[in-house]
Amino acid sequence: MPASRQSGGRDLGRGARRARLGQDGFFTRVYALVTRIPRGRVATYGQIAKLLGAPRSARIVGWAMHGSPEGSRVPCHRVIQRGGTCSPNFRAGDPGAQRRLLEAEGVQFLLDGRVDLVAHLWRPGPDAVRSRRRREALPGDFS
């Protein structure tokens, strides 16, 4: 299968293609998982993708975060880039918004501006996927 324009010309793998084909369903699964990230913890885009069974779909997780419904209760600010940096596009016109939201929850930053992942990375238990699947069966309210 040829790489699509959405992937920047790269073939993102079978998991990413499946995610793209069912994008609305994938976004719903992303939102359901992100709502489970506890206050004071963060997850990376790649971590969320891997937990959802599409390990090469970090970019699509980013699209889901960017496309989160306005006023939703999905804590999108808790999802960061793999190196611990905040997203430069978290809120247009306010580049420090994500950091402020995380700091308000007690997330600490290193001197270079990255989140202290050793202290704050979310490590879900082994039942995270099973719990997520049970939750998917129920209609969710993300608004």
Judge whether 132 lies within some domain.
no
Q: Helix, strand, or coil here: 69?
A: coil
Which active-site residues does the annotation give?
A: 76
Q: Which domain holds residue 98?
A: 14-124
The pLDDT of residue 119: 97
Judge whether 3 lies within some domain.
no
Judge whether 8 lies within some domain.
no
The pLDDT of residue 69: 79
Provide the CB-side half-sphere exposure for 139 (13 A, CA).
2
Q: The CATH number of the domain where 85 resides is what? A: 1.10.10.10
Judge whether 137 lies within some domain.
no
Number of structural domains found in the chain: 1
Judge whether 7 lies within some domain.
no
Judge whether 70 lies within some domain.
yes
The pLDDT of residue 12: 43
Q: For the chain (length 143 residues), average pLDDT per consecutive 10? A: 41 48 78 96 97 95 88 93 93 91 98 97 78 46 38
Judge whether 6 lies within some domain.
no
The pLDDT of residue 139: 42
Q: Helix, strand, or coil here: 43?
A: strand
The pLDDT of residue 88: 87
The pLDDT of residue 141: 41
